[in-house]
Amino acid sequence: MKHNYILNSLPYSEPFLFVDEILFVSEDAMKGAYTFEPDAYFYKGHFKGNPITPGVILTECMAQIGLVCFGIYLLNGETISEKSTFALSSTEIDFYLPVYPGEKVFVVSEKIYFRFQKLKCKVKMLNAKEEVVAKGTISGMIFKRE
Amino acid sequence: MNSEEIYSLLEPIIKNYLPEDVSPKQINRSSDLTRELNINSAHLVDIILDIEDVFNIEFKNEDMENLRNVNDAILLIQKKATI
């Protein structure tokens, strides 16, 4: 698979990894995908007897693909190392459709700017029917850990 | 542009990103942006980008190293605005 190094550099693991594959990445935009596990732990409580992916988890998936994977790519050639660390600084997301257990989603992220270690992106999540599930802006800092 | 004029444009930018527990009255020329005014690193970048727009200048990575307090910002703006 292409872009393996991005996935290998991710600072997440189960049960909080929400990236399966990177489909496309350039200096300006990227696209990735994730399929929600039908038996993910959060469905047990969100909601009782009516499992729907929580908005915070959709946001996390959008941030992991649209900001962290993208950030790793943009840093590559500069200073990619295991010592980089990421901090989410702001999210503003609108949600349009529910995402059910087992659904596959696509995250498309467009760079607004990447300056002084702050990456700000316009991020959109689509379902398998290409309907917009959520969209908004996410920004975060990429720090080098001492 | 003299430093009073710069300050009068700079203060409202900084005010915009102050955390709720810091009063705008605490802004003065010697205030340390991160340590005293409690501005986080992401908002510090927002301030820099707003300064670039307002003063029509461009900051480089190394400029950030010399930016600690309000006066540092004024001096940097003054230097860049005259080039």
**What ipTM does the predicted assembly reach?**
0.85
Residue closest to A68 by CA, chosen among A123, A146, A136, A105: A123
- DSSP conformation class of B26: G
The pLDDT of residue A78: 54
The pLDDT of residue A92: 97
In a mutational test of the A interface, the residue from B41, B43, B59, B66 whose CB has the highest number of chain A CBs within 10 Å is B41
Q: How far apart are CA A140 and CA A119, in angstroms?
A: 6
Percent of chain A predicted with pLDDT > 70: 92
Instruction: List the strands of the sheet with A21-25, edge to edge.
Output: A21-25, A29-35, A104-115, A118-127, A132-144, A84-95
- Asked whether the beta carbons of residue B49 and residue A90 sit closer than 8 angstroms, the reply is no
Give the mean pLDDT of B44-70. 93
- Asked whether the beta carbons of residue A118 and residue B40 sit closer than 8 angstroms, the reply is no
B74 near B33, Cβ under 8 Å? no
Going along chain A from its start, the domains and CATH numbers come out as 2-144 (3.10.129.10)
Give the mean pLDDT of B58-75. 92
pLDDT < 70 stretches in chain A: 1-2, 77-83, 144-146
A116 contact partners, CB below 8 Å, separation of at least 6:
B44, B45, B48, B59, B61, B64
Q: Does B53 touch chain A (CB under 8 A)?
A: no
A96 near A74, Cβ under 8 Å? no
